Structure 1
Amino acid sequence: MSPLSALRPRPEEDVDRSSSADMIARAAAQALRLELETYPKPGLVSPIDSGSHADMDAGTFRASTAAITPFFGDLARAGAAGAPMPALRRIGLQAEAAMRVATGGVNTHRGAIFGLGLLCAAAGALPRPIAGALGALVRDRYGATILEGPVLLHAPGARARRRHGVGGAPAEAAAGFPSLYRVGLPALQRGRRLHPGDDEAARVEACLALIGHIEDTNLLHRGGPEGFAFARAEAARFIAEGGIGHPRWRLRAEALHRAFIARNLSPGGAADLLAMTLFVDAIEGRP
């Protein structure tokens, strides 16, 4: 039996695919909203400020989320139908076009459309996924074609991957989002244990843990190897020194936020993975 066949729902577990796709789209939108509402996140946009960005604010992200939400439902339905990667790419490009109309051309969610979109397709294919199932399905069904697909040569992330020899978001997705499962979710759960009832604090913990771990091409694009190394080291130090368990964690996180802004650093890849972590947490369930 293949890994995928073991994950497929039995006939008696089937659900109304249309209503399930709408639920998945709502969960994706909520994950994006919660990521936006989280503060402090070093260098990133929130309702408090625009971080290291002069061309976008919280309103830009809210407009973008509203514009792309229907496409997450389309991706879920495509996943339920077993659609191949080229079909998912076509939906993703439509979502990106809608995003740019809503934001006046600003790229707010291209990375999230890619990663969260793949997870929506997996959720559509697996109405009742067990822990780890969404990432496994993305890896097994789409992994090879993710890496073989067309590359936007002039996109900042693609340029950073070529210049610095890192895998970035495509490699993360093709592998089944290991950083999400090994870093993001454990940090989110740890944060909830440290601050019961304060889910924003738990999201900060997850965000900083991801910044300290992943090869974020947004950081490489904006800060080069030096900025990338600074961001990862400082985020890892925040976690190593107690994270949100430190009595002055919020002041420390705000200071790190200002340091990222001073260096024009924005860990957009970690922000995308934080939203994906929140989505998987909601869909696969908490331990």
Structure 2
Amino acid sequence: MQMLQPHEVLCPSIITAAEILDRLACMALLDEASLEHKPGLVCPSSQGSHRDMDFSLFQCSVDALQGYFQAQCLNGYRDVNFEEIRQCGILAEQKMMAATQQINTHKGAIFNLGFASAAVGQCLADNSPLNAGSISQKIQSTWQNELLHHLERNPNSHGQRMRSQYGITGAIEEVASGFKTVMDVALPTYIDIYTRTANTQQAAIQTLFSLIAYVQDTNIVWRGGLSALYIVQDLAKQFLGRGGVLQHNWMQDVAKVEDYFVQHRLSPGGSADLLGVTLFMLKVEHEFCNHI
């Protein structure tokens, strides 16, 4: 991970905040992986549509990422250049891939939560409120231009191939926007359902379905084409239209959607990544509510 230069000294409170931030990021990833009834996605009781992944692999992956989010938080606090943040992410990706025998479990999370963690570091540096709005604003004002216009894209990645073939934007554009989808769709949905139910599982499932209904998920398009994207978006909208998790029999309703995803080997990985960002934002706000 990124190391401090010999002449750099950070006050203990900043180091402690970065350590807490790292724990929150890992907890958010584990909470997302632990959530049951996610269509096509790995959870403790199912591999979903993934033949090469299971819950224990995700646990190993998160273990391998410990310390990465702290490093990116300190990078943001120190206001390092864009390339240093990128290289820190590359090192974390290599460590993750080594721990998972080259299976991509958290590449999206490394990218998404890496920049979110760096943004938290910037908030700590200028004593901004540690909330979703500040994190979003810091990402946009600091890295949007470099993300959209200077970040080297791998033309062979699934996301970039879908971008070239269908014009679908993906993770880079979402991060560059300061996680606009999380801010506009996911966080309001989670807060609304949790306020009504006081149930984190129901709030998270409703949020995931709201994301599936809204996001042009390149993971879905890669596996099933545009037609699959339109079908699963419609399935999610229908579920939400019936009340979603506020239905008495919502688990049975979700099970039908789960069956469709598995039968067609579809996985809403992009939506799952954004659910992880949502859970991270909520944890940061709760943990640091008395900051400043």
TM-score normalised to the size of structure 1? 0.92
* Amino acid in the other structure paired with 1:109: H
Aligned mates of 1:92, 1:261 — CA distance in 2? 31
- Kindly indicate whether residue 45 of structure 2 is the aligned counterpart of residue 48 of structure 1: yes
- What does 1:133-212 correspond to in 2, within 5 Å? 133-148=134-149, 149-196=151-198, 198-212=199-213
Aligned mates of 2:73, 2:206 — CA distance in 1? 29
- Kindly indicate whether residue 90 of structure 2 is the aligned counterpart of residue 103 of structure 1: no
Aligned mates of 1:120, 1:61 — CA distance in 2? 20
CA positional deviation for 1:131: 4.4
Aligned mates of 2:274, 2:260 — CA distance in 1? 22
Aligned mates of 1:277, 1:111 — CA distance in 2? 14
1:216 paired residue number: 217
8 Å CA contact 1:84–1:142 kept in 2: the answer is no
Aligned mates of 1:168, 1:58 — CA distance in 2? 25
CA separation of 1:282 and 1:226: change in aligned 2, threshold 3 A: same
Aligned mates of 2:131, 2:92 — CA distance in 1? 28
Q: CA RMSD in A?
A: 1.5
* Amino acid in the other structure paired with 2:277: M
**Cα deviation code 1:256-282 (max 9, x no counterpart):** 111111111100001000000001111
Choose which of 118, 125, 129 in structure 1 pairs with 2:122. Answer: 125
Number of residue equivalences: 273
* Amino acid in the other structure paired with 1:159: R
User: Secondary structure in 1 aligned to 2:103?
Assistant: coil
1:80 paired residue number: 77
2:8 paired residue number: none
- What does 1:257-276 correspond to in 2, within 5 Å? 257-276=258-277
1:4 paired residue number: none
Aligned mates of 1:195, 1:31 — CA distance in 2? 20
- What does 1:223-234 correspond to in 2, within 5 Å? 223-234=224-235
Aligned mates of 2:209, 2:145 — CA distance in 1? 30
8 Å CA contact 2:119–2:138 kept in 1: the answer is yes
* Amino acid in the other structure paired with 1:161: R
CA positional deviation for 1:15: 7.2
Choose which of 4, 25, 37 in structure 1 pairs with 2:34. Answer: 37
User: Secondary structure in 1 aligned to 2:231?
Assistant: helix
CA separation of 1:15 and 1:137: change in aligned 2, threshold 3 A: farther
**Cα deviation code 1:22-81 (max 9, x no counterpart):** 111101000000000111011100001000000000011100001012111110110101
* Amino acid in the other structure paired with 1:116: L
1:277 paired residue number: 278
8 Å CA contact 2:132–2:183 kept in 1: the answer is no
Which moved further from structure 2: 83-92 or 94-103?
Answer: 83-92
**Cα deviation code 1:235-268 (max 9, x no counterpart):** 1211121111111111111211111111111000
User: Secondary structure in 2 aligned to 1:34?
Assistant: helix
| Structure 1 residue ranges without an equivalent (≥5) | 1-13
2:244 paired residue number: 243
* Amino acid in the other structure paired with 2:74: R
- Kindly indicate whether residue 66 of structure 2 is the aligned counterpart of residue 65 of structure 1: no
**Cα deviation code 1:108-135 (max 9, x no counterpart):** 0001110111101111111342441101
Which moved further from structure 2: 82-91 or 270-279?
Answer: 82-91
1:21 paired residue number: 18
Aligned mates of 1:99, 1:93 — CA distance in 2? 10
8 Å CA contact 1:132–1:284 kept in 2: the answer is no
Percent identity between the aligned chains? Answer: 32
